[in-house]
Structure 1
Amino acid sequence: MLYFKPINPLSMKKLLLIICLIGFFSCTEESYDIIILNGTVFDGTGSDGQQTDIGIIGDRITKIGDLSKANAKITIDASGKAVSPGFIDMHTHLEPIMEMPEAESLVRQGATLALGGPDGSSPWPFGEYLDSLERKGVGPNLAYLVGHNTIRRTVMGNEDRAPSSQELDTMKFYVQKAMDEGAYGISTGLKYLPGTFAKRDEVVELSKIASEQGGIYTSHLREEGLGLIDAVKEAILISKEANIPVVLTHHKAIGVKMWGASSQTLALVDSARNAGLDIMMDQYPYTASHTGISVLIPSWALEGTEFAERVSNPSLRDSIKAGIVFNILNDRGGSDLRRIQFSRVSWKKELEGKTLHDWAILEGLEPTVENGADLVIQAQLNGGTGTIYHAIDAGDVANIMKHPMTMTGSDGRLSRPGEGHPHPRAYGTFPRVLGYYVRQEKVLDLPTAIHKMTGLSAQRLGISDRGIIKEGSYADITIFDPETIIDQSTFTDPHQYPLGIDYVIINGKLAVEKGEFKNIRPGKILRKNQ
């Protein structure tokens, strides 16, 4: 007869507790919300890819390693695919975000974080706007800069003068307020009104406020054509005098007469960095820029609200027209009316996609630069246009791209099919870098290109848990086929999504699954120092 010694009730409780704990920990260690198997993982640091697995719980990466025996609610087989941190767009025009909160044109490119408020223009009041975005919900993660032009216009209008001491104090207060509310720094648009009227000392004083909070300074330079070299020098001086990291945003050399000037601007960047200044750049991978038609008009003619009055004065109109002719021949116009293409024309939709040359023909005019200048004046009087300028050299694009301190930024405006005729960068920036410049042209290798659109950008923003694949970081991940990824959007047919992006994960949620956009809003509003 077998005899079993009775177990002490206290010992039995301990045994059951141990069994439960073992079961609990084994489950939590081997059960995930999402597992990515067999992918070539590029961690965003520029290192070569490594074949491994990734486990995600909630909005974080919790395990990197062999997960072949683990369980998950969703399992992604990434065999033959590149697994990258989600791309970070360092220059995004998010103005339509309230109408397009899912930001499909951005997310389909693999972007999981976008920096808004560029070129001196930002939402205002700043904090209230971020609050409203949080309530609405957004597709990608969003961060914002505070715009110098926005603040100057709020305080001084479009006046061509220096601020009074009281006005400067008010502008400094506004910068401080925005930084307290989560701005990542300050942006300027010194080519645009009213920033073009600001002297360097004004910009330095405002940038010091952002610097004290650990912010950065990004600048649409005062000139990107004939005055480019002096404009780069000015940005470097602002970095030195305000003690602030500087990004030369959408860096380029524009206008036929400046083609090749990137060798000089990059030498200036290198010299400044060797002297201890923190200068970087971002860039879009195209040979055309995009801005308003007003960029062809002398700034003095646009001061205040008297443009119509000025062009009605024959002598002033002659001066304005001469300035426009000069810009078409020497700057953004590229010496040819065919290089000036309309993207948005609210008052004459049939011009969208057409050129200034086409418009002249439609009006029965000889397509001369002089007649083109008259049409520019007419366009501005009608409310302006969005305009694409085909005036950048492909050699400069490649030269800037190869520089180790160049990040990727689309400069694209959120877009959706059927609305306007946008620059193709709105749909294709990141796939174009990876497909055309990496795979086809071999300007960059794949790990370097990924670093420029992930880890390097996160470092610039001071974000340590995004832009990189590591345990504990946010699960912002893009999975793509390096053999097929490519942009499809063109200057003649822009409303086309890219190919080769299979999955986009934002904060642990599938925003793109098997190439299908899921139309969700998993993004977060990121606020610096908060």
Structure 2
Amino acid sequence: MKILNYLSIKLCIAIVGVVFLMFLMLACKKEIHADILIVNGTVYNGIDTIPTNNVIGIKDDKIIYIGKSDSLHIVANKIIDASGLILAPGFIDPHTHADNDLVSLEDSHNKSFLFQGVTTVVIGNDGSSLYPTSSISSTLNSQGIGTNVVMLVGHGTIRKEVLGLSDKKATDTDIAKMKSLIQEEMDAGAFGMSTGLFYAPGSYSNTNEIVELARTVAKNNGIYDTHLRDEGSFSVGLVSAIEEVIDIGRQANLPVHISHIKCLGVDVWHQSDSIIRLIENAQKNGIDITANQYPYEASATGLQAAVVPRWAESGGKDSLYFRYNNINFKAAILNETRQNIIRRGGPQKLLIVAYEDENVIGKNLLEISESLNMSPEEAVFELLKLGYVKVASFNMNPDDINNFMKQPWVVTGSDGGSGHPRKYGSFARKYSKYVVNDKLIDLSFFINNSSYKTAQIFKIPKRGLLKEGYFADLILFDPKAFKDKASYTSPFEFSEGLIYSIINGQIIIDDGKYTEKRAGRVIKK
């Protein structure tokens, strides 16, 4: 009996000890108060290759905790159970044409990018930017925007301010004026300068002009972003255009970034190996050079920019038609236009995706020329009379696309503009086609080169990485359902499978539905 009493006392003491120890452990747990707590997700942080199952706590606009929950007592206003979902940094799109959407009260939600998982967009690409940066920034911040915005100053925009649309060499005085305007834009928060050397008026500039302007950008720790002078065989050739951007980076001593890298047209198909070697040799020699790419075989641009000779455009549309209607110029204009159409694979490869006359949309240039009973090159000028014509140009080879996509210095971009499915589908398509179906790249590579790598290239502070103290821009998507829906014939379909999007700590997409919040900010350099 005494033995039983003794054992009972010992048992009671043990139980009391365990309870006391548990109480002590709970009392010693650090308490964290969060607005949002995300649990049970497969977490890719934007830089590592192996995921974790860490919980993430968000307070106000920042990530305040990443780690295990067993050593913490976390009090949260909202808990998101991310079971079965991929949790990643919000994607950063380095090349968009969202400029006009963002300044529109009706379209500033930027939903076409949001549903792809994009939380930050770069605007002002291809040498064309909203101007001036100071007033545009104020407008965007005051009216509200759906995504964060990084602004570039467009070289073509600045050149037009000083020289108009004329095909002339810039004098030292002209360059000094342009440098002054670029400095003003950098002071207002621009992250760098973009060029569209394939387009007028950027095409009228020489390398020396670009180098001088880029030196001003370099003094401000900015980036040089470029649509190459030639992506095919239209003028100087693809290799020479790559060599030019490398030379600009070397002379101006700044990072250079190639927009939508590609081998455009049958004349340059299968040159990706040569281009990659050229770029990697430049990197070995100290040139900070990177690129972005969209995952489609068709490019998109204005029909005029695609096939009309640049010399004929000098001075604008009135000057173009003055020359076209002049017997001394018309034959030459039509001949060069015909050759440019051939370089893009022929008139059957040019699909009209945006135009004033909706009956023309969805037809290719060959079909239109036949209906008008005229040559394809003549049909070009007939179409341009009514206004802007946008075309999807099917002129890339899958081998080159795959080759560029595997490079660690190539990040995801959309070049997203109306009429091409890339505006609504680029990031989701890259995941569904190249990660899931083709298995060309793995999931961590896709995420890292869609988020933190891009933030590093553009020097965007505290974005693109899941890290304590960084801004809470993050997404959760269903790995079995995340895919693009937009096509060339139905380009305005939102991507599917994005379950949550959080921007600056606010839930923008909740259980797959847009919350109507516009929590984006203009990020300044």
**Alpha-carbon offset, residue 28 of structure 1:** 8.8
The answer on 1:466 being equivalent to 2:473 is: no
Deviations 1:147-189 (A, max 9, x none): 0000001110111111122211110000111011101000000
3-state secondary structure, aligned to 1:30: strand
Question: 3-state SS of the aligned residue for 2:119?
Answer: strand
Q: Alpha carbon RMSD of aligned pairs, Å?
A: 1.6
> How far off its partner does 1:63 sit?
0.7
Q: Which residue is 2:483 aligned to?
A: 486
Aligned to 2:101: 96
Percent identity of equivalent pairs: 36
- Structure 2 match to 1:294: 304
Letter in 1 for 2:473: D
Residue of structure 2 in register with 1:5 after alignment: none
**Correspondences of 1:122-271 after superposition (within 5 Å):** 122-226=129-233, 227-271=237-281
Q: 1:84 aligns with which of 68, 74, 88?
A: 88
Q: Contact 2:477–2:498 at 8 Å: present in 1 too?
A: yes
Q: Please give the residue correspondences for 1:346-385 in structure 2 after superposition, counting only pairs within 5 Å.
A: 346=356, 348-365=357-374, 371-385=375-389
Contact residue 484 and residue 500 of structure 1 kept, 8 A? yes
Between the aligned partners of 1:319 and 1:28, the Cα distance in structure 2 is: 77
TM-score (norm 2): 0.91
CA shift at 1:364, angstroms? 4.2
- Per-residue CA deviations over 1:457-516 (Å, capped at 9, x if unaligned) read 010111241100011111000111222211111112212111211111000111111111
* SS of corresponding position for 1:29: strand
Correspondence for 2:414 among 410, 413, 417: 410
Unaligned runs of 5+ residues in structure 2 are 1-23
Alpha carbons of structure 1 residues 63 and 82: separation in structure 2 relative to 1, 3 Å: same
> How many residues in Structure 1 have an aligned counterpart in Structure 2?
489
The answer on 1:55 being equivalent to 2:57 is: yes
Contact 2:31 2:75 in 1 (8 A): no
2:403 is aligned with 1:399 = yes
Q: Residue 303 of structure 1 aligns to which amino acid in structure 2? A: S
TM-aligned CA distance change 1:385 to 1:57, over 3 Å: same
Amino acid at match of 1:391: N
Moved more, 65-74 or 485-494: 65-74
Are the structure 2 counterparts of residues 245 and 522 from structure 1 closer, same or farther at C-alpha, using a change threshold of 3 Å? same
Question: Could you tell me how far apart the structure 2 residues matched to 1:383 and 1:28 are?
Answer: 64
2-structure distance, mates of 1:191, 1:455: 29
Task: Tell me the residue number matched to 1:303.
Answer: 314
Contact 1:81–1:481 under 8 Å retained in 2: yes
Out of 282, 290, 297, which is 1:280 matched to? 290
SS at match of 1:204: helix
CA displacement, residues 183-221 of structure 1 (integer Å, 9 cap, x when unaligned) = 100000001110100000000000000011100001100
CA distance in 1, matches of 2:453, 2:229: 25
After TM superposition, give the deviation of residue 29 of structure 1 in Å: 3.0
**3-state SS of paired residue (2:31):** helix
1:441 alignment partner in structure 2: 438
CA 1:172–1:113: 2 relative to 1, 3 Å = same
Q: What is aligned with 1:4?
A: none
Long gaps (5+) in structure 1: 1-21, 366-370, 416-421
Q: Write out per-residue CA displacement over residues 226-258 of structure 1, whole angstroms, 9 at most, x where no aligned residue.
A: 111100000000000110100011110101121
Q: Does 1:326 align with 2:333?
A: no
In structure 2, what is the Cα distance between the partners aligned to 1:168 and 1:122? 18
Out of 364, 389, 393, the position equivalent to 1:389 is 393
Task: Identify if the C-alpha distance between structure 1 residues 291 and 27 changes in structure 2 by more than 3 Å, giving closer, same or farther.
Answer: farther
Q: Are the structure 2 counterparts of residues 26 and 326 from structure 1 closer, same or farther at C-alpha, using a change threshold of 3 Å? A: farther
1:342 matched to which residue of 2? 352
Contact 1:46-1:448 at 8 Å conserved across structures? no
Q: Name the CA distance, whole Å, in 2 between partners of 1:393 and 1:467.
A: 31
* Normalised TM-score (structure 1): 0.90
Residue in 1 that maps onto 2:17:
none
Give yes or no for contact 2:115–2:496 (8 Å, CA) kept in 1: no
Deviates more, 1:172-181 or 1:487-496: 487-496
Which residue pairs with 2:472 in the alignment?
Answer: 475
C-alpha distance in 2, partners of 1:381/1:164?
34
Question: In structure 1, what is the Cα distance between the partners aligned to 2:131 and 2:30?
Answer: 45
Q: Which amino acid in structure 1 is aligned with residue 323 of structure 2?
A: R
Is 2:154–2:194's contact at 8 Å kept on the other side of the alignment? Answer: yes
Cα pair distance change 1:247/1:206, threshold 3 Å: same
